[in-house]
Every structure is written in structure tokens, then in C-alpha cells.
Amino acid sequence: MNIKTFKGGVHPPERKDLTSGLPVESCFPSTKTVWIPVTQGGAPNKPLVQVGDTVARGQKIAESEAFMSAPVHASVAGTVKKIETHLATGNVDVQCIVIEADGSDRTDFMPPLDPFTCTREESLARVRAAGLVGMGGAAFPAHVKFNPPKGSKIDFLIANGAECEPYLTIDALTMRDEAARVVDGVAIAMHITGAPEGIIAIEDNKADLVPVLEKAIADLRSNPVGAGARKIRVQLLKSKYPQGGEKMLITAVTGREVPAGGLPSAAGCAVSNVGTLKALSEAFREGKPLIERGLTLSGGACANPKNVLVPIGTLVGDLIPEVVSLNPGVSKILAGGPMMGIAMKSASFPVQKNTSGVLFVTDKETTLLEETPCIGCGRCMQVCSCRLAPVLIVRALKADNLEEAKRCGLMDCIECGTCAYVCPARIKLVQRFRIGKAQVRAETQKQAAKAAAKEAAKAAQGAK
């Protein structure tokens, strides 16, 4: 098989061997309590339950009428104890529904639905009802992703199994243990999007999964479930960071480019994480909403790195020390991988639909050195797979020149961290880009509010 890739990128130490050969353990928080964020991707939801209510596993507990939203479901059967704010990924306080498990297995799943005989509208409604969002990081509502803008034609459904972040292995293990589910999800997503070809893209450090996936594809073909099962294949990619970024993946697999500011559909592609595709299969075949997920717990300060399957809303801190124990000298707790993950101020934050891993890292594994002045070496430009000039963006931001930062491509940055990884001056490029983007968004909102107020004043004047 030919091995494809994209231009740019880096190859940080993988450190996947800490967990790659282990089973995925089903675990439950020691407190028997989950803190489920009311919104986990898309527009803000509102709680549908009150303190004191009894809920079943899979029962919808929060939703929004907005199209760009995904409902949230109870991940355990029990009683709603509190609805209050709690620390969540990103070090923000978010509203959570706190459910104490009663130990029963009462479930409230939807009835199974045949994805190949129902209408497209019914399929999209099922994807939304199951609360599916991108589990690889972005938490983008899946029913929106699988419903590309009118007029766009999807040629390829790409299953993203690249998992290019060091340490993380949950996607690889999902493909190893649940290959049939992943392949079924690919077929379903192809059917919904109308993609004639499905490609499961994995890096060549996971080449041992090729026969596993090919067997699952052959099994699906010999037991046809509909038109979507026809043309699925595996594509190996060179192990390189950020291979799993949507734009890089599309370029590597198809040779097509997503235009700046454009969606994958602009290149005739739909991309979905392999964990999301497994959940997609379950949403149709079992009527099961997205209420649990697998994640990697690892890092040099972690005494027993492993992959676990936990109910959504499990506080990471509640898995310590029963499930995972820590060595002295934890210097950072990262929600996500070391390249794009966010340093958390405490382990007391819930596993969400898009939490692919939590790392406990030591001083040795992290860059704690102070920034020094930029030496203009240009390395950041050489590795940026989005072909941006990080050094120019950061200079503009330092000079408080948002317009210039935007002109240099600030809003096209995917925050992959590759530039910061190679920067010899250890400039905190990504942190600065995140702050810069937030400033741009705030400025845009301010301008929109100003324009709306002006319009309203004009209309009021005209009515007089």
C-alpha cells in the first residue's frame, strides 16, 4: 500500500507504547456521581430536568432548539442531585447536571433504526437525537457535519483514525476492538452524505490494524446492509503531526485542498473521527445516545497508564487513585494530547464527549522554560502545514494590530502547536493565537451589535 502525507509537520516522540498494547477497561467513578456539562458542542443547551428528578441511562437531560446544537443525555441511571457550575476543559466554569447513580441499569434508549431504509431526514434526525458530536476534539454537531451545504457533492467520507497526538491510543484501540462498528459507521455516514467512497485513514505506526479493518470491511461486504457498504478501503499515512487535522488529512488522502476559511465539503469530503463513527453505528443499531467514551490516561507522572471507558461526566479526579495512580512530580495535567491539549488547573473536571485523553506529565516532558526573544529563524514557517507565517502573526499580536494578524492568517490557524514545538525561543505561539482569536471574535460581536443597534435606531426613526 502506498503511504501518503502532507507538506510540513513534525514528528514528536510518540510515547504510545505506554498504552497501545493494553485492553480498554470499563470504569466507574468512585463517587458514583457524574457531572455532565449541559452543553458539549454547538449552541448552548438548557436543562430538561430538575433537582430531585429520577433519570434513566440514555434519557435526554438537556437540549436547545438551535439547529447547530446537540442534546445531552444521562450517562447513568439515578437522581439529579444538583445543577450547578463546575470546572470543565479549558479552565472554564460550566453548568453541569450532577447525577448520583442508583446502581440500577434502567435505560431509556431510542428504538433501533435501519440506516439504509429510513429517509435522509430521519437519519439526520437520529444523529442529532443521539447527541453525536465530533469525538476527536472539536465537538462539532455530527448532524451538521453529515449535512453539507446545498449544492456541494461529497466524493469521499474519510474516517479519521490518524491519532497523531503523542501518547493517545484510544482511537487505535477502538479500531482494534470495535472494527465492525467503525466500518458500519463508515457505511452509514457514506449513505447519509451520499459519498460513493469511504476511506479509513490511519498512520503507518498503526499498520497492524490494516488486516483487522480489512477483515471488518470484507465481513460487511459479504453481509450487505445497503448501498453504503460498497466501496470502503484503508489508507496508510506517514506518521507525522498534525496528520489528523481535517485539512491535512484531506490533502494527504485525496490530494485536494480545502480553501482558506472553507469547510471539508468545499473539497468534496466529509471527515469523521473513528470513535464518532462507532457511536454512529450504535445510535442506529441500538438506539444508544452518546453517553460514554473511551480515553487514554497516560503521561510520565502516571504510574499505571491505561485506556478506560467511562460514563460521560466522570470527574477525572474521581478515577484517582482507584483506577489510575500518580507518581510524585506531576507538573501539568493536560486535557488532550501534549500538542493541542489544554493545561488544567486541577484534575476535577468531567470527561466530555470530546475528551480523548488526559495526561499527567512531568517537568522533563513539558517545556517550562521561559520565552526568549524571537531570533527570526523561520522554522515556524517551515513546519506550518496551513502555510501560515506564525512569526508574523505573533509580531502583529504583540503590536496589538489585530487587522494585520488577521491578514497574516490568524483565523486560519488550527492551533496544532507545531510551530511552538519547533520554536527555539520557546515563544508561546498557540496561547497567543488563542487569545488573538478570542479578541477578533469579541470585536466582530461588538461590531455586529453596533450595526444592529444602528439599524434598530434607523427603523425607529422611520416609524415616527
Q: By the criterion CB under 6 A, which residues form the site for ligand SF4?
A: 374-380, 384, 386, 388, 390-391, 413-419, 423-425, 427, 429-430
Q: Give 96 or 396: the residue with its C-beta nearer to ligand SF4.
A: 396
Min CB(250)–ligand SF4 separation in Å: 15
Min CB(245)–ligand SF4 separation in Å: 8
Grid coordinates belonging to 463: 416609524
Min CB(254)–ligand SF4 separation in Å: 20
Min CB(270)–ligand SF4 separation in Å: 22
Q: Give 36 or 420: the residue with its C-beta nearer to ligand SF4.
A: 420
Q: Give 210 or 374: the residue with its C-beta nearer to ligand SF4.
A: 374
- Provide CB contacts within 8 A for 457, sequence distance 6+: none
Q: Give 269 or 419: the residue with its C-beta nearer to ligand SF4.
A: 419
* Nearest C-alpha neighbor of 182 from the set 165, 201, 167, 195: 201
Q: Give 353 or 437: the residue with its C-beta nearer to ligand SF4.
A: 437
SS (H, E, C) the chain: CCCECCCCCECCCCCHHHCCCCCEEECCCCCCEEEEECCCCECCCEECCCCCCEECECCEEEECCCCCECCEECCCCEEEEEEEEEEECCCEEEEEEEEEECCCCCECCCCCCCCCCCCHHHHHHHHHHCCCECCCCCCCEHHHHCCCCCCCCCCEEEEEECCCCCCCCHHHHHHHHCHHHHHHHHHHHHHHHCCCEEEEEEEHHHHHHHHHHHHHHHHHHHCCCCHHHCCEEEEEECCCECCCCHHHHHHHHHCCCCCCCCCHHHHCEEEEEHHHHHHHHHHHHCCCCCCEEEEEEECCCECCCEEEEEECCCEHHHHCCCCCCECCCCCEEEECCCCCCEEECCCCCECCCCCCEEEEECHHHCCCCCCCCCCCCCHHHHHCCCCCCHHHHHHHHHCCCHHHHHHCCHHHCCCCCHHHHHCCCCCCHHHHHHHHHHHHHHHHHHHHHHHHHHHHHHHHHHHC
Min CB(383)–ligand SF4 separation in Å: 6
Min CB(366)–ligand SF4 separation in Å: 17
Q: Give 131 or 390: the residue with its C-beta nearer to ligand SF4.
A: 390
Min CB(94)–ligand SF4 separation in Å: 25
User: Residue for cell digits 433504526?
Assistant: 113
Q: Give 153 or 398: the residue with its C-beta nearer to ligand SF4.
A: 398
Min CB(413)–ligand SF4 separation in Å: 3
Min CB(426)–ligand SF4 separation in Å: 8
Min CB(374)–ligand SF4 separation in Å: 3
Residue 328: is the preceding peptide bond cis (ω within 30°)? no
Min CB(379)–ligand SF4 separation in Å: 4
- How far out from the chain centre does Cα 285 lie? 23
Q: Give 217 or 384: the residue with its C-beta nearer to ligand SF4.
A: 384
Min CB(340)–ligand SF4 separation in Å: 9
Q: What is the C-alpha to C-alpha distance for residues 158 and 160, in angstroms, rounded to an integer?
A: 6
Q: Give 285 or 395: the residue with its C-beta nearer to ligand SF4.
A: 395
Q: Give 325 or 372: the residue with its C-beta nearer to ligand SF4.
A: 372
* Nearest C-alpha neighbor of 99 from the set 144, 42, 36: 36
Q: Give 277 or 413: the residue with its C-beta nearer to ligand SF4.
A: 413
Sign of the four-CA dihedral 76, 81, 82, 88:
negative
Q: Give 279 or 419: the residue with its C-beta nearer to ligand SF4.
A: 419
